[in-house]
Amino acid sequence: MSPSEQDPAGVPWQRVFDQASAAMAILDLQGRYLHVNEAMCRLLGYRREELEGRDYRDVTHPDDIDPEGPTVSSEPLEKRYIRSDGSVIWALVARSYIRDADGRAIYSLSQIQDITQRREAELLWQRSFANAPIGMAVLDLKGTWTAVNDTLCGMLGYTRDEMLSMSFTDITYEEDEKQGMAALTDLVEGKVDTVSVEKRYRHKDGHPIWMLIRATTVPGADGAPAYVVSQYEDIGEQRLVDAHLAHLALHDPLTGLANRALLADRLDHGLQQLARGNGVLAVVLADLDQLKPVNDRYGHASGDELLIATARELQLAVRAGDTVARIGGDEFVVVSLLPDRAAAEALRRRVEDHLNTDVVVHGVTIRLCASVGCTTTSDPSIAPDALLHAADRDMYVSKRRRRAVRGDGTR
């Protein structure tokens, strides 16, 4: 017997029930549909007479049948229904009891919402997250991981449980922590929606891993950031490649010294420093006197070793912050910001001492000889080429003087 037949005054509520836009059904305590509305029929694709009197288990996906029957819970239930055409939908079901005057449960009321699109979107996200070829994680607004995929765990060497017990700061190198926290703060405060950061994480084994991290916020119901989704790529190998290419672009491949491009930059930087305070910029230029004879007598491999020895001696003669460059076959330049011209002259003497000494090349002792010129300036507006030209002129004065002392025309 239907509820309306037992309750003559039920016509008004039945009209509201039938015309409700939400799918609704009244069931007996065994789980048979006693009354379904039009929205329920549209949801499942059945006519009313096909559903009323039928057990709800007949249209429930086998994996989602609750063996204890249509019990009422305070929390809505997510389950799958099978429509008349065989397709499956996900639904959110809220159940409540209809009680008699004595408070006894006599029927149950189900209110059903189609959540198929939401569940499919969730499944797509879950599978994309879990199977992504890059590391992925969800973090709270304090930087604690709340979900991580297997790829990220594998990259960092931690289990999922270990990761979920930590904040990203726990495995960030101290030198990189500031930029990571700054990026998180910008996201949480809504200054940006997305950030990209390159930083180092410490692998569980202890070695560093360079990561490219792209993070974005997901807003909550109030529109404010609710959590952060991050993607992680191991860029350690690429950083090594990039660093190697950058080094090749700015350094002499034989000696490892700065090349002309880097020398030009360091000269510009030195002149800018002059504009901010006292001191002089010293440019020392050295030209080897014996490279050709060594090449002719011992071969070019020995000549190369002589150039490498020259670079080594120059680096011993200068301070850590000075620039040493090779700008030609046998020409070298030192750039140094010094307090005065006396300090520049002392630098020149040290370079001369180091470049006029005996060195061992391929087991042979060779006399390293060089002519050294020097110029200084306190004028930040002078052209870098003018400085190099002045040092070159002074170097040739030194070379002529050395020739006169030797009494020959040896270069």
The CATH number assigned to the domain holding 379 equals: 3.30.70.270
First to last CA, the chain: 120
Q: Please tell me whether residues 298 and 359 are part of one structural domain.
A: yes
Between CA 91 and CA 64 the distance in angstroms is 11
- Residue 3 predicted with pLDDT over 60: no
How far apart are the C-alpha atoms of 41 and 44, rounded to whole Å? 5
The model's pLDDT over 127-171, given as tens digits with 9 standing for 90+, comes to 999 999 999 999 999 999 999 999 999 999 999 999 999 999 999
Same domain, 143 and 108: no
Question: Nearest-CA neighbor of 29 among 92, 71, 75, 73?
Answer: 71
pLDDT at 32: 94
Judge if 22 and 94 occupy the same domain.
Answer: yes
Instruction: Tell whether 125 is covered by a domain.
Output: no
Choose the final residue of a domain: 118, 146, 171: 118
Q: Which helix (H) or strand (E) holds 92?
A: strand 88-99
Tens digits of per-residue pLDDT, 46-85? 999 999 999 999 999 999 998 777 777 778 989 999 999 9
> Are 142 and 230 part of one and the same domain?
yes
Does one domain contain both 152 and 83?
A: no
Are residues 59 and 105 both part of a single domain? yes
Round to whole Å and give the CA distance between 259 and 327: 6
| pLDDT beyond 80 at 10 | no
Is residue 331 domain-resident?
yes
- Catalytic positions, written as ranges: 330
Expressed as residue numbers, the domain containing 164 is 132-239
pLDDT at 205: 87
pLDDT at 239 over 80: no
Amino acid at 74: S
For residue 276, count other CB atoms closer than 10 A to its CB. 8
Residue 50 and residue 83 share a domain: yes
Contact 211, 199 (CB under 8 A): yes
Instruction: Determine the Cα–Cα distance for residues 331 and 257; give it in Å rounded to an integer.
Output: 12
pLDDT at 6: 47
Helices 236-250 + 260-274 axis angle, to 10 = 80
CATH of the domain at 187: 3.30.450.20
> What pTM value is reported for the model?
0.52
How many domains does one find in the chain?
A: 3
The answer to whether residue 126 is domain-embedded is: no
Q: Sign of the C-alpha dihedral, residues 77, 79, 84, 88?
A: positive
Q: Are residues 223 and 155 in the same domain?
A: yes
Kindly state whether residues 137 and 79 are assigned to the same domain.
no
Q: By the 8 A CB rule, do 371 and 289 touch?
A: yes
- Gap between the Cα atoms of 92 and 95, Å rounded: 10
Last residue of a domain, one of 51, 84, 118: 118
